Structure 1
Amino acid sequence: MDFVLNKIDKHLDNHRSLDQHRKDLKRKLEELNGLKEDTESIKRSELQPRKKLKAEVQIWLENVERVNGEVQVLDGRIGESSALTRGFHTEDVSKSITEVEELIIQHGEAVKVCIEEIWHCLMDDEVPKIGVWGMGGVGKTSIMKVINNQLLKETGKFNIVIWITVSKEMSIAKLQEDIASKIEVKFSGCGDETTRAGMLLETLSQKSRFVMILDDLWEKVSLERIGIPEPSNGSKLVLTTRSADVCRQVGCRMIKVKPLTEEEAWKLFLEKARCDIRGVEPIARSVSKHCAGLPLGVITIASCMKGIDDISEWRNALKELSLRKKSVNGFEDEVFQQLQFSYDRLKNPKLQDCFLSCALYPEDEEIEERSLIQLWIGEGLVEEMDSMQAEYDNGRAIMNRLISNCLLEGFTKRGNRRCVKMHDLLRDMALRIAKSRFLVKAGMMLEKAPDVQEWSMNLEKVSLMRNWRLCIPLEMSPPKCPRVTTLLLSGCCLESIPEGFFKHMDALKVLDLSGNPIKSLPISLSKCPGLTTLLLCRCRIESIPESFFHYMDALKVLDLSSNPIKSLPHSLSNLKNLTSLLLADCKDLGNVPSLSNLGVLKKLDLRGTKIKEIPDGVLSRLCCLQDLIVGETLIIGKEVGGLKKLQGTLEGRFYDWHNLNMYLQDFCGREEPRKYTIYVGDIDFDTFFENEGKKFFARGCNIYNYQIVLPRDIEGLHITDCNVDCSEEYPLFSRFILFSLSSFSSLICLHIKDCGNMKKLFSPNCVPPNLQRLRVGGCKQLEEIITSEVEPEERGMVITEFHLPQLRQLLLNGLPELKSICSAGGVLVCDSLVVFQIVYCPKLKRMGLNLPKLDNVPPSASANLSLSVQEYCNVNCSEEYPLFSRFILFSLSSFSSLKSLYINDCGNMKKLFSPNCVPPNLQMLSVRSCKQLEEIITSEVETEERGMVITEFHLPQLGLLSLGDLPELKNICSAGGVLVCDSLGIIGIVDCPKLKRMGLNLPKLDNVPPSASANLSLSVRIRPKKWWESVEWDGPQPKSLFDPFVSFR
């Protein structure tokens, strides 16, 4: 009975809600049909005649027609229904609403009107200039980034794509500099605008078919004055702007970017809000509508409401937005009010100030995360903590909050450097909020500092950074800015600063003068009592007055890195609040005053100085050190071990193994530094290491019967020029294992070089399991990489597998006694190997390698694999077993993934490939200095058995074939064989005097008339010329066909 009653209740609910559902369906269908009319209007336009767009639009229009018909039929059925049965149609109406909503959303995705139209104009040689315009925040730059990325992928149409961001305060000089950097024009100090324009004009005119994108242009520009030629011969100029007038004045084909439809905006809002809005949907929709279809507004407002499901907060947000809308004049003000809503909802004043500080950087600046957080710390916006890492983590949490609220855009640059960027509208909004407190003219190509009148009494932060021609006149009166806490003057090429410039800046906390060629500091700077951060890196400071730091009691951070300074004043010793002293790459700095009084110093950086050692007793006084970075400077193990807070970075050189052991013993049981680079003996910088954060170098140190302890979490280990007392029983890594009690489970990179008497590297139970890169070179007595603890006669036919599943690079070089990688009966299994290089290992008879990723791989899948066998030397290859047959036998691999093969200095190798072992996907083949090599591809059939049969060997992807210094080479293929290369673009034959048969077939040369040969990409480089004249061309094409492509070296 309950079941029946529930059914009746549900039916009555459906009956009551049917009318509301039908109203919703009618409203949404009207919106859909409005879009349909717009689309049909575009379809009829001659602006978009392309088939692809028409097909997409046609499919969408057909779906709209179908839905209209279905809704009409549904309405008829509902009209014919009795009062009792009407409720049964509610579910059908709901389905129709969903389908209509999907079509509304698909409209934006399917038509892509702006992108399609811009692309069409780019492909149309009759449209030289394109203007993409629309209100701020509507997505013009985002659209052009899509276009830009696509242009960079499709290189056939245009020779160069140049993206230039134009700021609101546009400068002709700045535009010229930006363009010059993209097209590699150097003005060499030329300050004349007309001359620079001429240089750009000449260079761009020579670059046929270029695309110049000027993003965010605010006013009309004279192309001639900048140096941009009028686009012709397929070249294009594309600009984005908020003004249709700018497009007209420049003479562009105009393309308007319209706001999102209501449904598109709602979909984007839901995506960014990421919360269950079922209980607040009507209010949330109203909030979304206040964004007026601007993507930036939708994203920022939705992001600041992320995760909120309390209806009261949504009501309050709607009320705030409604009040803001009533108080503004004009659409631009409305946009700023939308964005400021997100700023206001940060609520925390320090969080808001962190956001505002981002506006101190130039427009569109890619701000490095670390420098921004250091700025916040200097300004006191990040809570002061005992740990520098904790302060940094706090700053990063603030940054992540701003990114989460879409007030900043986070991304990672090359080298894994995290950066943030501020949208120009958000930057404008920040500067509007801080208008009376900030003076920001960063990156505007100023040649003179702002007049004294602009330096008002209320200023708190001033940024003139990146004005590389800036000059502060010596006669300029000292600015009266008693409240200024931050002054950023980095990268301005300032050669001098007036002596009294800082006279009225008593509140100054952060001063950044980095990257200026100033040689001395004004005396007035030494009288700033509140200064906490002084950044002077990459200047030309040669000396500092003795008493300069006498009054700087508050100074916490002093960065003098990369200055030609020779000594530091003794007043430095009195900086009792100094936490960071950065002197890296001061190459002439030979000594510093006593650091013993710097009791709260947390970071000391002396890399790249002339300081030989840190004297006895100094480090033990610096008990707060968390980062000790001294490079080649010698440090005392026991004193470093006593630094109980050293948990950040350690980089330094210990005198010997004893000092290293003292450090590690004192550190035992404590948290080790997060990053370290430890040297014992001489310095050896190894480029083999990549991103390992924990590295150890030993050079010129004997490893005999000494208790050697290494850090337990070491990631990179380099041992070079060390005499190792390794008996048969104790290979090198057994010694380390025994003494360090470490399994080296963290070790990912190992380089062993020039270790004279080492015979074995690993014992079976000491192979580092997570090794990724292994290089062994110059070890004259090394016989095995992995040895066995079992006698040969005991092994029988048992195969022992040693697994290095993460090994990517295996490089063996100059190992004259190396006989095997693994002892007999052992196989090294490498699942991830991509680079395998063996150079001068004449006694290597047994490879013992297994690469599982190459097993059972069909040729069609080989493109997904990567293996580069680079060099193999002095191979004992009999007539029966050419080199690659040997590899096939040992690795059980068809080498179907091999793309590049370099064979150098392999003394007794006579053949390279047997017929069934030619790597099918080879792209580059270089063979050099193999004194006995006779054939590249040999045959398994005797010459008299071949008769007139021609055997073709296909290398369809081979692009480069280079053969050099091969005195015995007679054939590329055995008699009767032809190498067919569809893609060959470079052929090099140098000093192969006995090569009489080429046996090459290049199908791309077939049926090519002489007049068209210049369009072919082929280069044949020959030495000597006399050889070319005598060589027999044994392929199906005449030798004369190659003559136009031959050059003699």
Structure 2
Amino acid sequence: MKKQVEKLRLARDTMQHSIDTAIRNGEAIEGVVNNWLKEVDEITELAMKVVEGEEEAKTRRSNAAACLDLKLRHHLSHKAKKIAQAIDVVLENSKFDRVSYRPAPQGIVTTRSTDYVDSNSRKSTMMRLMEALIDDKIQLIGVWGMAGVGKSTLVREVAKEAMKKQLSDEVAIAIVTQSPDLRRIQGEIAEMLGLKFDVESTVIGRAILLRQRLTGTNEKKKIHVILDDIWQNLDLEAIGIPCEECKVLLTSRNRDVLVCEMGTQKDFGLEVLLEEEAWSLFEKMAGDCVREPNLRSIATEVAKECAGLPLALVTVSKALKNKELYEWKNALQQLRKPALGGLTIMQSKIYYSVELSYKHLESVEVQDVFLLCSQLGYYINHEIFLLQYCYGLGLFDGINIIEDARNKLRTILRILKDSCLLLQSPYSSKHLRMHDVVCDAMKLIASRDHNMFVARVDGGLIEWPDANALKKCEALISFEGGDVHELKEMECPELRLFSLLGRDHALQISDNFFEGMRKLKVLDLTKMQLSSLPSSLQLLENLQTLCLDQCVLEDISLIGKLTNLAILSLHTSKISQLPREMGFLTRLRLLNLSGCSKLEVIPPNVLSSLVALEELYMGNSFVKWKAEGLNNASLAELKHLSHLTALNIHIPNANNLPKDLLFEKLQRYVIFVGDKWDWSDGQEEASPTLKLKLNTSFQLEIGKAFNN
């Protein structure tokens, strides 16, 4: 029995290790596993009582107790035999298909928003919304109101209350925005429902799966779907939302969009807060400082200038929290300025409130990052995408190491989130979002004060700023791309950032296109088909970051001329061969080849020439490391990358791995050794991961290489 108990202890420890890992990853433990642990504890306790009885029997020494002792030992032996047999069964039942599962992320629904004020006007609207949710005849409900009035906050409070009162079992929320992306919307809904899509699945295929999830549950769960910030008619069927089967709650700035285009059966208008309610929210966000006698009166006036708009109240109060009296007076003066040209008085107040928050940020670095975020749209990938831009533009003075820049960026983003200027995406830790009113206001500030422009798309064609504006322009971005098929020379002598998101069609760039933008530091051409690069590219001696993501690429040998390049990203691009000329990029610090599944050739000595490289991402990419019959890069070249701190790589054949390969500085890595590993999305920022499929003594050597 004692031997069986020891086996059971080891099995329990092993199981506990798996459980601890799952909990750290935010996963829930399967019920059968918890039951098994309980059974193990109970049977272990019984075994310990037998051991205690044995010790008691051993203490008996007198002849008078001999018979009793013999009887007790016989009884204990019988119990021990039964316990040992029971332990056999428990050990046999310890083989589970899985220990844990990832629950649907309903936390966003059950957590109260910090900027929600429990006012009478909001209570009244919430009560009527709850009544509509209960009414079986109403499936499509709308909430409308001006930007920043608190529509998103209110519907989340409604969802929380519905969950609390068991009016709904699950709630799925997706943010739509001005340019609806059906795949993203489907992904956000699926994420909250715990539904996984295949990476290659189409919008139609996702819609079928989503519809089945929303209607096909055996438990007949009540599921509510919230679609936030609708600007135009949205095809719910194309997304996979069956209106007749589940309640759908929509928000929009425009009542006509809800009533006329979406056909809501019940709609609710949301007004600004009453003066008393507005002060309650302002005081809550500003903190105890507004209760000080010398600040109270001026703070009250500042709150009044926010005109009851929750967004303005939150942004202004956060900006002025714990500030001096003169700063409050200056803020009041700014809020009382006349309206900007073309804006209503209310719009001007909103925009001024955002500008006020921007100007009160603690440093120029924080302001610059926030300004850049506003130009990149409502959704921002801050781990890779934003880092590449910030580093290339040199926003972090005195920082050259990529990892140091990443830490600086994360610190700044935390400051911006604390200031309520950036919001964490509820669906992904790697994404941030910006309230559309904040984004619109900052775009105005960026174009007016910093010569940064987001080019509009009019009728499928990009409408660039006029020639005079281009000569002053410092950043030019188009995330729509339009139907542009050719880029001709533009005179932009001050341009530092140029970004163009295409539509997967061929793009001709005139050879002299870059002649008029010699100060360019960041160049991003995404979703393009490029047969070659223009000769004028080599004139960009200041270029630090080059992104050619999701492109179809052929001859890119000209990249070798960009000897000052620090970051090169070809993420998920279709390219079969890297040029030998890339070996000249001796100052390159980050190379992202992840997702380049067509990449088959990396010439020898290219990787080993990149002696300054700090981060190398090759997940779901190149795997044909040098072997017999292949004239390709070898893994031995990685030994020359002495500065490497981040590495994502797949090595199908362990025999290609040099035994003396050591990575002394690795901090973040995802390394797969062996064939047929599943490389999922988002591994770039994963925790240190080493997965092995080995049948040789290489396992020991690999352990030495990555033991840090």
Same fold (TM over 0.5): yes
Give the letter aligned to residue 463 of structure 1.
I
Give the letter aligned to residue 479 of structure 1.
M
Q: CA deviation at 1:407?
A: 0.9
3-state SS of 2:335 partner: helix
* Distance in 1 between residues matched to 2:247 and 2:534, nearest whole Å: 50
* Distance in 2 between residues matched to 1:462 and 1:379, nearest whole Å: 13
* Distance in 1 between residues matched to 2:355 and 2:554, nearest whole Å: 47
Structure 1 residue 674 corresponds to structure 2 residue 667: yes
Change in CA separation of 1:708 and 1:159 when aligned onto 2, cut-off 3 Å: closer
**Structure 2 counterpart of 1:259, from 272, 286, 298:** 272
Aligned to 1:872: none
* Distance in 2 between residues matched to 1:233 and 1:137, nearest whole Å: 31
Aligned to 1:311: 325
Structure 1 residue 626 corresponds to structure 2 residue 641: no
The 5 Å alignment of 1:609-1008 reads 609=622, 610-612=624-626, 622-632=641-651, 654-656=657-659, 659=660, 663=662, 673-676=666-669, 693=688, 695=690, 697=692, 699-702=694-697, 710=704
**Structure 2 counterpart of 1:449, from 462, 478, 482:** 462
**Structure 2 counterpart of 1:578, from 567, 576, 588:** 588
The 5 Å alignment of 1:259-408 reads 259-279=272-292, 280-308=295-323, 310-323=324-337, 330-346=345-361, 348-363=363-378, 365-408=379-422
Aligned to 1:521: 533
3-state SS of 1:112 partner: helix
Change in CA separation of 1:181 and 1:556 when aligned onto 2, cut-off 3 Å: closer
Calculate the TM-score normalised by the size of structure 2.
0.64
3-state SS of 1:493 partner: strand
- Answer 1 or 2: which has greater helix percent: 2
Aligned to 1:556: 566
3-state SS of 2:509 partner: coil
Calculate the TM-score normalised by the size of structure 1.
0.45
**Structure 1 counterpart of 2:490, from 475, 479, 482:** 479
* Distance in 2 between residues matched to 1:164 and 1:366, nearest whole Å: 14
Aligned to 1:240: 251
Q: Is the 8 A contact 2:452 2:475 kept in 1?
A: yes
* Distance in 1 between residues matched to 2:542 and 2:356, nearest whole Å: 34
Q: CA deviation at 1:408?
A: 0.6
Change in CA separation of 1:600 and 1:655 when aligned onto 2, cut-off 3 Å: closer
3-state SS of 1:378 partner: helix
Aligned to 1:983: none
* Distance in 2 between residues matched to 1:134 and 1:707, nearest whole Å: 63
Give the letter aligned to residue 666 of structure 2.
P
* Distance in 1 between residues matched to 2:249 and 2:704, nearest whole Å: 60
Q: Is the 8 A contact 1:612 1:633 kept in 2?
A: no
* Distance in 2 between residues matched to 1:449 and 1:471, nearest whole Å: 8
Change in CA separation of 1:189 and 1:403 when aligned onto 2, cut-off 3 Å: closer
Aligned pair count reads 554
Aligned to 2:523: 511
Change in CA separation of 1:446 and 1:502 when aligned onto 2, cut-off 3 Å: farther
Q: CA deviation at 1:709?
A: 7.9
* Distance in 1 between residues matched to 2:495 and 2:697, nearest whole Å: 59
Using the aligned pairs only, state the percent identity: 26
Choose 129-138 or 238-247, whichever is displaced more: 238-247
Change in CA separation of 1:245 and 1:411 when aligned onto 2, cut-off 3 Å: closer
Q: Deviations over 1:982-1039 (max 9, x none)?
A: xxxxxxxxxxxxxxxxxxxxxxxxxxxxxxxxxxxxxxxxxxxxxxxxxxxxxxxxxx
Q: CA deviation at 1:294?
A: 1.7
Q: Is the 8 A contact 1:131 1:238 kept in 2?
A: yes
The 5 Å alignment of 1:103-142 reads 108=119, 112-124=123-135, 130-142=141-153
* Distance in 2 between residues matched to 1:684 and 1:530, nearest whole Å: 42
* Distance in 1 between residues matched to 2:136 and 2:635, nearest whole Å: 75
Give the letter aligned to residue 240 of structure 1.
T
Aligned to 1:589: 601
Give the letter aligned to residue 651 of structure 2.
E
Structure 1 residue 497 corresponds to structure 2 residue 512: no
* Distance in 1 between residues matched to 2:299 and 2:465, nearest whole Å: 49
Give the letter aligned to residue 407 of structure 2.
D
Choose 175-184 or 285-294, whichever is displaced more: 175-184
* Distance in 1 between residues matched to 2:471 and 2:357, nearest whole Å: 30
Q: Is the 8 A contact 2:185 2:239 kept in 1?
A: no
The 5 Å alignment of 1:538-557 reads 538-545=550-557, 548-549=558-559, 551-557=561-567
Change in CA separation of 1:710 and 1:596 when aligned onto 2, cut-off 3 Å: closer
3-state SS of 1:435 partner: helix
3-state SS of 1:456 partner: helix
Aligned to 2:56: none
Q: CA deviation at 1:424?
A: 0.4
3-state SS of 1:420 partner: strand
Q: Deviations over 1:482-528 (max 9, x none)?
A: 33322223463233233344443323221222444444434443443
Change in CA separation of 1:580 and 1:303 when aligned onto 2, cut-off 3 Å: same
* Distance in 2 between residues matched to 1:603 and 1:673, nearest whole Å: 9
Q: CA deviation at 1:606?
A: 4.9
* Distance in 2 between residues matched to 1:605 and 1:235, nearest whole Å: 42
* 5+ residue gaps, structure 1: 1-104, 636-651, 715-1049
Q: Is the 8 A contact 2:646 2:668 kept in 1?
A: no
* Distance in 2 between residues matched to 1:561 and 1:225, nearest whole Å: 32
Q: Deviations over 1:123-174 (max 9, x none)?
A: 445667654333321101222234456778999889997856241xx6xxx5
Q: Is the 8 A contact 1:412 1:418 kept in 2?
A: no
Q: Deviations over 1:436-466 (max 9, x none)?
A: 5333258x79743336858833332222235
* Distance in 1 between residues matched to 2:653 and 2:259, nearest whole Å: 68
3-state SS of 1:494 partner: strand
Q: Is the 8 A contact 2:548 2:570 kept in 1?
A: yes
Give the letter aligned to residue 416 of structure 2.
L
Q: Is the 8 A contact 1:634 1:655 kept in 2?
A: no
Change in CA separation of 1:267 and 1:542 when aligned onto 2, cut-off 3 Å: same
* Distance in 2 between residues matched to 1:446 and 1:588, nearest whole Å: 40
Q: CA deviation at 1:593?
A: 4.5
Q: Is the 8 A contact 1:152 1:161 kept in 2?
A: no
3-state SS of 2:372 partner: helix
Q: Deviations over 1:238-266 (max 9, x none)?
A: 54344556667567655221223334333
* Distance in 1 between residues matched to 2:215 and 2:670, nearest whole Å: 47
Q: Which structure would you say has the larger Rg?
A: 1
Q: CA deviation at 1:686?
A: 9.3
Structure 1 residue 459 corresponds to structure 2 residue 473: yes
Change in CA separation of 1:356 and 1:611 when aligned onto 2, cut-off 3 Å: same
* Distance in 2 between residues matched to 1:562 and 1:175, nearest whole Å: 19
* Distance in 1 between residues matched to 2:480 and 2:161, nearest whole Å: 31
Change in CA separation of 1:572 and 1:425 when aligned onto 2, cut-off 3 Å: same
Change in CA separation of 1:228 and 1:597 when aligned onto 2, cut-off 3 Å: closer
* Distance in 2 between residues matched to 1:679 and 1:227, nearest whole Å: 38
Aligned to 1:432: 444
* Distance in 1 between residues matched to 2:132 and 2:600, nearest whole Å: 59
